[in-house]
Structure formats: structure tokens, C-alpha cells
Amino acid sequence: MGSPSGPPFDPDDPDRARRERDTEPIPRIDPDEPPSAYGPGPYADADDAGYGSAYTGEGRSGRAWARDPDGFPDQPISEEELAGLRSDATGMAPRRVLPLEDEPSSLVARYLFPTERYRGEWKRHWIHLTTPIIVGVAATFVLGYLSGFLAGRDVGALTTVAVLLWFGVMGWVAWKVADWWYDRFILTNKRVMVVNGIITRQVAMMPLTRVTDMKYEQSPTGRALNYGTFVLESAGQEQALRVIKNLPNPNELYLRVVEEMYEPQAVEARLGKEADEAKADDGA
């Protein structure tokens, strides 16, 4: 007798079980046999494994099974699962979209043309008033103490000067507050604008199509109080609107501008949905 073909039998061979599995015959399905609960499959071992027609392959030859997308019915998604999908992997909710005003204020409306779609206006953060407020408080304490001190020395002229000086400082503070109130950052579907000034009005704008780079910067104080500075670039050219300081909610505002630049259809769809929901609530 000749020696059998192939390597000698080794009970400790780690690949022996795999070779036996790959070389064993694959039974075919009897066409007269009724289909399994999962539907007929190309091989009996596929049906026995519970895959049925949802998988196709080459038997147990070691190749990966290919999943048939039509092999399983669609499963409905519950509201609890949808709520979970609305959060990211860390459990944080997606970004909050601040509501927009339906109409621009009278201060802004005069600078918009009829076919332009208004997206919102923002005053600068209250941190913009830090210097005027500090000066006003300091002037009140210092000049108030000085007025009382001079009043006891019987120098009425100097007391009057101190009081007038205090009124002048407070007038300057009131002017700064009014200037802050009329200072607006405006976003439309076509441009960004900054309008400021009480007596001499200044209007600066940049088309969204000309914005080549945009960023915002936040200091540690800005991150704590939620304000930042925007920097706009336009093809390396000098422009009237480049650095805008102390804008509130910088991350939200940044996403608003970028979305308006790159996904205007999504903005229109969201605003249209919000309008339909508002009409439905009014009708209810």
C-alpha cells in the first residue's frame, strides 16, 4: 500500500478543523422539501443557520456571506429611539437654533432692499459697555466724595465744577449706552452688515459670496460670558467690514452665517417648517 496523499495526521494541528470543515460535502436542498420558516436558501446549511434568503454565498468555503437588504422587513422606530438619535455619543443635545425675528426693526428695515431675505439682527454683548459703566461708577464715587469735601471748606465754585464734571461724565456714559443700543450686526441671505452711529450713521456690508474666510475668537472671559470677535476676509482685499468685536452667542452666529453661505436651501426649509408649525398652532 502506498502512503496516503496529504500531510500525516496530527491531532494537535490547529488548522485541521478548518480543513475538515472546508472539504466536507455541502448538501443540496431537496426541491420537493417545503421551504423553511425563513424562506428557501441556496444551501441547506444557510437555512439551518437561520439566514434563509437574506444571505447568499458559496457555502462554507470560508467566504463572507453577503446580506440581502430585502431579506428583512423594515422595523418601525419609536419616539424613544428617535430621542436617542437626537443626541450625540456623549449624551449632549444637538446645537440649539435661536429663534429669528419675523421682521427687521425699523432701524434696520431701511437698509434692506425688497428682494432681500432678512435672517436676524444682533446688538453687541453687554461687555461692550464695561468701560463706560466703570468710568460712570468711579466718577460717581470720586466726584461725590470730592463735592462733599469741598462743601465743608466753603469753596462753592469748586463744588459746582465737580458737579458739572460729574454731569459731563454721566452724559458721556449715556451717549455710549445709546450708541451700543443702535449698533447692530445684521445677516440676510445675501450679505452681512454692521450699522452704528447716532448722529453720523455708518453702514458697512460684505456680500456673502465675497467672504473667503471667516473665524471668531473667544478669550477665556468671552467663553465664560458667551461673546467673541468675528474676523471676515474677502479675497485678500481691504474692506470696510473686517473685525466685529463683542458679538453675543458667537458659535451660534458663526453657524448661522456658514449655513447661509453653504446651505441656503436648508435654511429656507427650516424656516418654512417653522412657519407652517406656527400657522398650525394658531389654527388650533
pLDDT of residue 236: 61
- Please choose, from the candidates 183, 186, 202, 187, the residue with its C-alpha nearest in 3D space to the C-alpha of residue 129: 183
pLDDT digit string, tens, across residues 224-265: 999 999 998 887 666 678 899 999 999 999 988 988 888 877
Global pTM value = 0.59
pLDDT of residue 14: 63
What span, in angstroms and rounded, lies between the C-alpha atoms of 70 and 38?
A: 13
- Please choose, from the candidates 33, 29, 30, the residue with its C-alpha nearest in 3D space to the C-alpha of residue 59: 29
- Please choose, from the candidates 246, 254, 252, the residue with its C-alpha nearest in 3D space to the C-alpha of residue 125: 246
Q: What are phi and psi of 187, to 5 degrees?
A: -125, 130
Helix axes 156-182 and 130-151, enclosed angle (nearest 10): 170
pLDDT of residue 270: 73
Regions of the chain where pLDDT drops below 70: 1-102, 155-156, 236-239, 273-279, 281-284
pLDDT of residue 51: 42
pLDDT of residue 224: 94
Length of the chain in residues, anyone?
Answer: 284
pLDDT of residue 127: 94
pLDDT digit string, tens, across residues 136-160: 999 999 988 888 777 777 766 888 8
CA distances, 252 to each of 75, 98, 168, 241, 256 (Å): 36, 8, 39, 20, 6
Contact yes or no for 221/214 (Cβ under 8 A):
no
Buried b (16+ CB within 10 A) or exposed e, 247-271: bbbbeebbebbeebeeeeeebeeee
